[in-house]
Amino acid sequence: MDLSLVIPLYNEEESLPDLLAWIKKVMDANSYSYEVLLIDDGSSDGSWDQIEKLRKENASVKGVRFRRNYGKSAALHVGFGLAQGDVVITMDADLQDSPEEIPELRRMILEDGFDLVSGWKKKRYDPLSKTIPTKLFNWATRKMSGIHLHDFNCGLKAYRLDVVQSIEVYGEMHRYIPMIAKKAGFVKIGEKEVQHRERQYGVTKFGLERFVNGFLDLLSISFVSRFGKQPMHIFGLLGTLIFAGGFLAAAYIGIEKLYFLNQHIKARLVTDNPWFYIALTFMMLGTLLFLAGFLGELISRNSPDRNTYQLKEKLGFDSSYDDHIA
């Protein structure tokens, strides 16, 4: 199969017929063999009814329905597990991503040898309240990841099949898939300027809280990328340094007390010295950090990484596809 299109959606019943008609037009024009995986993330409107209708009209359409809203990362995780095409394309269902970009994205993967190609919506039709924070987040992500992309959060991306089979998208980490792919060893990451279209139906499903969550996710994935498998390297090091600082301070206070006693110099009690309690606190904090690193090391070595989502229905898949869902 040439292409798998993974499309997460939430309450997009109005846009689905237009989107699938546009996709079919592009696929037929290029004679691609393809599948469209529509992942309904617990929609409360008629999105699933539309998916059932579209499946009857086009056998390439397949659907997965969550029992509740889990978020875009969960939808991508399940879609990646089900994808069978040589090249996997992700895009949003709100018609703001153009299917006309698909042939060039596919060419960049197959001919230019990229592992992942991310879209760049250079010209956006969004208010300043959205574009300015987005630019700041993209700048921060470039600096922290070393990946020179302009638009990490663009939903229109292309991947080799082995990339999506090798990465795990969890929590709200869909914004940072290039970082996850780089961590997994896929370092040839490219970028293509793509068209951004104005939303035609409904309203955006993301509020201002996504900017706060995005910043926290960036810190989280940066930490996990460096220390997720070896937490002792950070917690153990910090704990040792802090404990050593407290121990040396306490030793100095004790030696000073012994010196004064040996010289018959009147000295105050050690417990009257505020630095003694500061040193003691440092030793306690160091011990706790060291133990946190030790416990984290045990957990990381004995707990399998796994996401489980409750699916309500599947459409267009045979029973063998159950093995792909984690």
Amino acid 298 reads: L
On the 0-12 / 13-18 / 19+ scale of CB atoms within 10 A, 124 is middle
Asked whether residue 282 falls in the same domain as residue 199, the answer is no
Q: Which parts of 271-316 are beta strand (E)?
A: 311-315
Asked whether residue 112 falls in the same domain as residue 132, the answer is yes
User: What pLDDT score does 64 carry?
Assistant: 96
Q: Residue 326 domain-assigned?
A: no
Least confident of 173-177, 204-208, 247-251: 204-208
Asked whether residue 222 falls in the same domain as residue 238, the answer is no
Q: Residue 116 domain-assigned?
A: yes
What is the domain count for the chain? 2
- Yes or no: say if 157 and 90 are a contact pair by the CB < 8 Å rule: yes
- Yes or no: say if 161 and 83 are a contact pair by the CB < 8 Å rule: yes
CATH number at residue 183: 3.90.550.10
Q: Residue 85 domain-assigned?
A: yes
Q: Considering the chain, what is the average pLDDT of its residues?
A: 85
Amino acid 256 reads: E
The residue among 196, 227, 258 that closes a domain is 227
Asked whether residue 269 falls in the same domain as residue 297, the answer is yes
Residue 221: band (very low, low, confident or very high) from pLDDT cuts 50, 70, 90:
low
Asked whether residue 152 falls in the same domain as residue 21, the answer is yes
Answer yes or no: is pLDDT of 263 > 90. no
Asked whether residue 48 falls in the same domain as residue 63, the answer is yes
Domain that holds residue 288: 232-302
Asked whether residue 87 falls in the same domain as residue 192, the answer is yes
**What confidence tens digit (pLDDT) does each residue in 275-312 have?**
889 999 999 999 998 888 778 767 655 655 555 677 77
User: What pLDDT score does 205 carry?
Assistant: 56
185: left (phi over 0), alpha (psi -120 to 50) or beta: left
Q: Per the structure block, which two tokens stand in for 67?
A: 């029992």
The residue among 227, 250, 284 that closes a domain is 227
Query: How many residues would you count in the chain?
Result: 326
User: What pLDDT score does 206 carry?
Assistant: 54
Higher pLDDT, 310 or 181: 181
Asked whether residue 261 falls in the same domain as residue 137, the answer is no
Answer yes or no: is pLDDT of 217 > 70. no
Asked whether residue 167 falls in the same domain as residue 271, the answer is no
**CA triplet 119, 125, 126: central angle to 5 degrees?**
100
What's the CA dihedral at 94, 96, 98, 99 to 10 degrees?
-20
Higher pLDDT, 146 or 161: 161
Q: Name 122's Cβ contacts closer than 8 Å, sequence gap at least 6.
A: 150, 193
Asked whether residue 37 falls in the same domain as residue 119, the answer is yes
Asked whether residue 88 falls in the same domain as residue 155, the answer is yes
Q: Rounded to an integer, what distance in angstroms lies between the CA atom of residue 137 and that of residue 181?
A: 19
Cα first-last separation, the chain: 23
Strands 61-66 and 116-120, how do they pair? unpaired
Residue 209: band (very low, low, confident or very high) from pLDDT cuts 50, 70, 90:
low
Asked whether residue 153 falls in the same domain as residue 87, the answer is yes
Q: Residue 314 domain-assigned?
A: no
- Yes or no: say if 76 and 6 are a contact pair by the CB < 8 Å rule: yes
Answer yes or no: is pLDDT of 7 > 90. yes
Task: Give this prediction's pTM.
Answer: 0.71
User: What pLDDT score does 324 carry?
Assistant: 45
| Helix/strand/coil for 119 | strand
Q: Rounded to an integer, what distance in angstroms lies between the CA atom of residue 286 and that of residue 88?
A: 47
Q: Residue 38 domain-assigned?
A: yes
Answer yes or no: is pLDDT of 326 > 60. no
The residue among 174, 192, 227 that closes a domain is 227
Q: Rounded to an integer, what distance in angstroms lies between the CA atom of residue 123 and that of residue 277?
A: 58
Backbone dihedral angles phi then psi of residue 173, each to the nearest 5 degrees: -85, 5
